[in-house]
A and B are shown apart, each in its own frame.
Chain A
Amino acid sequence: MMRHTISVLVENKFGVLSRISGLFSGRGYNIESLSVNRTTDEGVSIMTIVTIGDDRVVEQIIKQLRKLVNVIRVRNVSEMDHIEREMILVKVHATQRTRPDVFNIVSTFRGKTVDITNESVVIELTGANDKILAFLNVMEPYGIIEVVRTGAIAIGRGSKMTSEMK
């Protein structure tokens, strides 16, 4: 079982998101995260889907996605040289006493503190999945109040469009 990041270029048409999410639920594939947004072309959106499965399942997922009429391109970006990021907003307990420690960790991880109260801080952090997990791990003992994550987005390295890359 491996974590795969799949980039899906879709026509921005009625019901596309439900066709894709429905495909995953109907066939019992799992979605770790999904993010969708417009591309520079107004008629086209890009989705980044993170899923976990063995090679055969992921191959089926990709083939089934390609079968959808509104799907233009599908790439398993995990198989190529790529950059992956997600963003989190974390609300952590931080009193006057623990605040310096928390700030220290945040700066080590190149995060940003975006709100402070007497009992808590809100931190913004961007990074690949492992960095995010490591950060949350370190923050755990201070008391995490709330986490909101965007889910991963990914792009291939080099001068070609991700969807054009081999």
Chain B
Amino acid sequence: MMTGAQILIESLKKEGVDLIFGYPGGVLLGVYDTLYDSDITHILPRHEQGGVHAAEGYARATGKVGVCFGTSGPGATNLVTGIANAHMDSIPMVVFTGQVATSLIGGDAFQEADIIGITRPIVKHSYMLTNVEETAAVIKEAFHIARTGRPGPVVIDLPKDVMAAKAKFEWPEKVNLTGYNPTVKGHLGQIKKMLRLLEGAKKPVIYMGGGVVLSEANEELVKFSEITGVPVVSSFLGLGGFPGTHENFVGWLGMHGNYASNMAVSDPDFILAIGTRFSDRSTGRLDGFAPNAKIAHIDVDPASISKNVQIEVPIVGDCKAVLKQALGEIDKFNWDKNASARKEWREQIKAWDKEHPFDYDRTADIIKPQYVVETIYKVTEGDAIICTEVGQNQMWAGQFYKFNRPHQFISSGGLGTMGYGFPAAIGAKLGCPDKEVFDIAGDGSILMNIQELTTAVQNKVAVKVAILNNRYLGMIRQWQNMFFNDRFSHCDLECQPDFVKLAEAFGAVGMRIDRKEDVENAVRESLKIKDRPVFMDFTVDRNENVFPMIPAGASVSEMLLMKK
């Protein structure tokens, strides 16, 4: 016989979990007592929000399921932002929350919160464990649900008495879920229909999203694009799913995506969408989005198909599996048929890109934030894992770093959570210790989870934080500048800590970089530090705006470009 807590830890081992981020509390003391004897690595963040984002960063960098713990009440509510974040970006997570004893539930006991109710709209699924006998089966189901189909967070609420009760440990052979059976392989007839339409298209585009990264369909997609000669545009979260340096890669579309990508989707004759949900930040105003195109859509989530845009050829299935099937049929079609029209089309796209590439004033004497990102790209030879905060820093990271592999770019896309990047970077580095991991940060965002410096120092996590310090909530300033007549309401961050001293106070390395000529050297120096986090405080142009920009609710034709 084992206690519920022991069964829990055994089950985690069975699932291959080797790293947990967690913060203890009253109702979790039994679980923590069991962890004391376990060989699973447990990292103590300094705030539960830091823990849940770190678990997500770990999941995104490794492709595994992220695991975290928080105690009942405030511990659990502190996890809410992280759960919502994972839900919006479809990241596999299993989140354990402590709960008061079942006999006390509903009585407003000390540190009681209805976390299952609170998180209901932001989880893929959730469980309240009420019977110790079910512990192993519930955990196995939770991991299965989190990682299969369209991935997402699963919450398991652990009442104190259930964790103390005893049962026999029996690891179920397989999960048995009548109502859950995601489709993996696509319908072959639909796949052929898609290929036939693509064969006949003269101006086709592949529009790929985060689903390609999640299913690691990158190699299949490269093959597919090369054989068919179809250019690829990505959503923001798709970055890395197709090599950024490949000649068929056009860029990313959306509010701050490049001109060529947005033009490419404004009037193609065919779109093959893969693993993307047609978010408003990507498509802009829907009536301006490919009005004359036939659209085929591969997605593992049937509800993502025809949600925002009407789809001619829906193909439900895992991106990698479906692309494999398509590659199996591809020889039966004639890809030379429209080869010259397609070449012309690709040249048109290249011309658009030449006309308006991602750009900035390279002659400026002060440090341009884009220059910092570009330098990091150069110095790391494009190999680093890049996390971002939210705001201008995030957009510049996407614009000036080229990503060549899945899991290389980690950013809060759907929810846009300031304070996400730094803990996510800690999780990513713990998952991929051999990779350099950067957090491209804003001076506003970085303060939202600054306490995690302690976590990084304690665990010798050598992440590099590049603060693009504009002493502004820069993205807010940009909108107030462009759409609110320069009425800069509460976006000025003139008062801020000395980030160098602050890093040092935590036991990390701090650097301040005020001069353009010092940027590259600082980044190089930071790479030499292997046992501690590094904060680089770059004093950048305060008034730089992110371009291009398609204002919210506008279409591509209203795109604002950088003044030359």
Interface residues of A (CB under 8 A from B): 10-11, 14-15, 18-19, 22-23, 26, 56, 59-60, 63-64, 66-72
Query: Contact at A14–B130, with CB atoms within 8 Å?
Result: yes
Query: Contact at A69–B125, with CB atoms within 8 Å?
Result: yes
5 closest residue pairs by CB, A with B: A63-B303, A69-B125, A72-B179, A69-B180, A26-B121
Query: Contact at A69–B145, with CB atoms within 8 Å?
Result: yes
Kindly state the interface size class of chain B when it binds its partner.
20 to 34
Query: Contact at B179–A11, with CB atoms within 8 Å?
Result: yes
Q: Name the A residues within 8 Å of B126 (CB-CB).
A: 15
Q: CA separation between A67 and B178, bound complex, in Å?
A: 12
Query: Contact at B302–A66, with CB atoms within 8 Å?
Result: yes
| B491 located at the interface, meaning its Cβ lies under 8 Å from any Cβ of chain A in the complex | no
- Check A11/B120 contact, CB under 8 A, given A60-B307, A63-B303: no
Write the B27-63 contact mask toward A (1 if CB under 8 angstroms, else 0). 0000000000000000000000000000000000000
The minimal Cβ–Cβ distance linking A87 to chain B, given in whole angstroms, is 29
Most A Cβ at <10 Å: residue of B120, B127, B177, B179: B179
Query: Contact at B303–A15, with CB atoms within 8 Å?
Result: no
The residue in chain A whose Cβ has the minimal distance to the Cβ of B303 is A63
Query: Contact at B128–A71, with CB atoms within 8 Å?
Result: no
Query: Contact at A69–B117, with CB atoms within 8 Å?
Result: no
> Looking at the complex, which one of B120, B301, B306 makes contact with A67 (CB distance below 8 Å)?
B301
Further pairs besides A15-B120, A15-B126, A60-B307: 5, Cβ < 8 Å: A14-B127, A63-B303, A66-B303, A69-B179, A71-B179
- Check A19/B120 contact, CB under 8 A, given A69-B145, A71-B179, A72-B179: yes
Q: Name the B residues within 8 Å of A15 (CB-CB).
A: 116-117, 120, 126, 128
The residue in chain B whose Cβ has the minimal distance to the Cβ of A14 is B128
Query: Contact at B178–A72, with CB atoms within 8 Å?
Result: yes
Query: Contact at B117–A18, with CB atoms within 8 Å?
Result: yes
Q: CA separation between A10 and B177, bound complex, in Å?
A: 12
Q: Name the B residues within 8 Å of A22 (CB-CB).
A: 120-121
Q: CA separation between A72 and B180, bound complex, in Å?
A: 8
Query: Contact at A63–B179, with CB atoms within 8 Å?
Result: no
The residue in chain A whose Cβ has the minimal distance to the Cβ of B310 is A56
Query: Contact at B178–A11, with CB atoms within 8 Å?
Result: yes
The residue in chain A whose Cβ has the minimal distance to the Cβ of B177 is A69
Q: CA separation between A60 and B302, bound complex, in Å?
A: 9
> Looking at the complex, which one of B116, B117, B120, B303 makes contact with A64 (CB distance below 8 Å)?
B303
Q: Name the B residues within 8 Å of A72 (CB-CB).
A: 178-179
Q: CA separation between A10 and B180, bound complex, in Å?
A: 11
Q: CA separation between A89 and B180, bound complex, in Å?
A: 39
The minimal Cβ–Cβ distance linking B300 to chain A, given in whole angstroms, is 11
The minimal Cβ–Cβ distance linking B311 to chain A, given in whole angstroms, is 11
Query: Contact at B306–A56, with CB atoms within 8 Å?
Result: yes
The residue in chain A whose Cβ has the minimal distance to the Cβ of B149 is A67
Write the B111-123 contact mask toward A (1 if CB under 8 angstroms, else 0). 0000011001100
Query: Contact at B303–A67, with CB atoms within 8 Å?
Result: yes
Could you write out 30 A-B pairs with CB less than 8 Å apart?
Answer: A10-B179, A11-B178, A11-B179, A14-B116, A14-B127, A14-B128, A14-B130, A15-B116, A15-B117, A15-B120, A15-B126, A18-B117, A19-B120, A22-B121, A23-B121, A26-B121, A56-B306, A59-B306, A60-B303, A63-B302, A66-B302, A66-B303, A67-B301, A67-B303, A68-B179, A69-B125, A69-B145, A69-B177, A71-B179, A72-B178
Q: Name the A residues within 8 Å of B130 (CB-CB).
A: 14
Q: CA separation between A64 and B145, bound complex, in Å?
A: 16
Q: CA separation between A26 and B123, bound complex, in Å?
A: 13
The residue in chain A whose Cβ has the minimal distance to the Cβ of B180 is A69
> Looking at the complex, which one of A18, A26, A70 makes contact with B179 (CB distance below 8 Å)?
A70
The residue in chain B whose Cβ has the minimal distance to the Cβ of A27 is B121
Q: Name the B residues within 8 Å of A26 (CB-CB).
A: 121
Q: Name the A residues within 8 Å of B177 (CB-CB).
A: 69
The residue in chain B whose Cβ has the minimal distance to the Cβ of A65 is B303
Q: CA separation between A18 and B121, bound complex, in Å?
A: 10
The residue in chain A whose Cβ has the minimal distance to the Cβ of B304 is A63
Write the B160-180 contact mask toward A (1 if CB under 8 angstroms, else 0). 000000000000000001111
Q: CA separation between A67 and B145, bound complex, in Å?
A: 11
Q: Name the B residues within 8 Å of A69 (CB-CB).
A: 124-125, 145, 177, 179-180
Q: Name the B residues within 8 Å of A23 (CB-CB).
A: 121
The minimal Cβ–Cβ distance linking A61 to chain B, given in whole angstroms, is 10
Q: CA separation between A64 and B302, bound complex, in Å?
A: 9
Write the B277-321 contact mask toward A (1 if CB under 8 angstroms, else 0). 000000000000000000000000111001100000000000000
The minimal Cβ–Cβ distance linking B117 to chain A, given in whole angstroms, is 7
Q: CA separation between A8 and B302, bound complex, in Å?
A: 18
Q: CA separation between A14 and B127, bound complex, in Å?
A: 8
The minimal Cβ–Cβ distance linking B159 to chain A, given in whole angstroms, is 12
Q: CA separation between A68 and B182, bound complex, in Å?
A: 11
Q: Name the B residues within 8 Å of A19 (CB-CB).
A: 120
Q: CA separation between A96 and B306, bound complex, in Å?
A: 60
Q: Name the B residues within 8 Å of A56 (CB-CB).
A: 306
The minimal Cβ–Cβ distance linking B116 to chain A, given in whole angstroms, is 6
Q: Name the A residues within 8 Å of B124 (CB-CB).
A: 69
Write the B100-139 contact mask toward A (1 if CB under 8 angstroms, else 0). 0000000000000000110011001111101000000000
The minimal Cβ–Cβ distance linking B299 to chain A, given in whole angstroms, is 11
Q: CA separation between A154 and B376, bound complex, in Å?
A: 63
The residue in chain A whose Cβ has the minimal distance to the Cβ of B116 is A15
Q: CA separation between A162 and B180, bound complex, in Å?
A: 20
Q: Name the A residues within 8 Å of B127 (CB-CB).
A: 14
Q: Name the B residues within 8 Å of A10 (CB-CB).
A: 179
The residue in chain A whose Cβ has the minimal distance to the Cβ of B130 is A14
The minimal Cβ–Cβ distance linking B317 to chain A, given in whole angstroms, is 15
The minimal Cβ–Cβ distance linking A121 to chain B, given in whole angstroms, is 42
The minimal Cβ–Cβ distance linking A47 to chain B, given in whole angstroms, is 13
The residue in chain A whose Cβ has the minimal distance to the Cβ of B150 is A67
The residue in chain B whose Cβ has the minimal distance to the Cβ of A13 is B127
